[in-house]
Structure 1
Amino acid sequence: MAAKRSNDEARTFLISVAAELAGMHAQTLRTYDRLGLVRPQRTSGGGRRYSQHDVELLREVQRLSQDEGVNLAGIKRIIELTNQVEALQARVRELTQEVETLRGSPRRDLAVMPKSTAVVVWQPGAARRRRQAE
């Protein structure tokens, strides 16, 4: 999926082409950009460049608006929440991979304890200080 997305992001379209691909008028794309529904890349001169992902997002905005009757504020919130969920899912994948890596390699500073309600406070060097005191 990541490879597909990076390929989609590499190819960009002029606003007129993106509008045609999304089945909208170019002015609608400008309005959606101003409202923050889609964030196309910008050229050094300020021209908009839409990725394939942007075009797909525009189609989804149109579907939510026309077929589902969702207003633009609602669509913006749906997009924000979708982005947040995707970011959280990516973080969960990272953490899961890290846990699997840690489980596969023995570490002296990591101990697996059975489930308990007890609280244990660990202080580095505390055992050594006790042995020295005795």
Structure 2
Amino acid sequence: MDERSPLFAITVAAELAGMHPQTLRQYDRLGIVSPTRTPGKSRRYSMHDIVKLREVARLSGEGLNLEGIRRIIDLEDLVTALQARVRDLEATLADELLTRPGRRVFAAGQDGDVVTLRAGTRTPRNTQLVVWNPLRRR
């Protein structure tokens, strides 16, 4: 069991968050805090949802409207997801460096794409000369 396990019915969640159950229903309709649903379509809230509800109450108490709160919650969720993705990529990179050191080198190609190189090689240099004359008309 973790913080995202859906455990609490709406009445218990409302009590833990210090809100009325109808407020939780409204937040669910607006997409601010959306709990999981049972096969019978009843709402089940996790501890993570309860923390979000308390954050919504705090932001509301500071004078933010519900749309502003929804945007803040969405951005916080996005940051959390991106941080988890960065941690995964860092772990993958660390594993790759430990298991196969010096195997691959990556560089930026001329078009901005990623180019894979063998260790010890360089990307070919572009030696073209481009002349620009602002007074020249076509």
The bucket for the TM-score relative to the shorter chain is 0.7 to 0.9
**1:19-53 deviation per Cα after TM superposition (whole angstroms, max 9, x unaligned):** 01100000000000000001111111111111111
Contact residue 6 and residue 44 of structure 2 kept, 8 A: no
Shift of 1:78: 0.5
Residue among 94, 97, 104 paired with 1:103: 97
Residue ranges of structure 2 left out of the alignment (5+ in a row): 106-118, 126-138
How far residue 101 of structure 1 moved from its aligned partner, in angstroms, is: 1.3
Specify whether residues 101 and 63 from structure 1 end up closer, same or farther in structure 2 by C-alpha distance, changes over 3 A only: same
1:49 aligns with one of 44, 52, 74: 44
TM-score between both structures, scaled by the size of structure 1: 0.74
Structure 1 spans left out of the alignment, 5+ residues: 1-5, 122-134
- More strand per residue: 1 or 2? 2
Query: Which has the larger helix fraction?
Result: 1
Segments ≥4 residues shifted beyond 3 Å: 111-114, 118-121
Count of paired positions: 112
Equivalent of residue 65 in structure 1, options 20, 40, 60: 60
Secondary structure of 2:85's aligned partner: helix
1:77 equivalenced with 2:71 (yes/no): yes
Q: 1:75 to 1:113 in 2, by over 3 A?
A: farther
Residues 104/47 of structure 1: CA separation in 2 closer, same or farther (3 Å cut): same
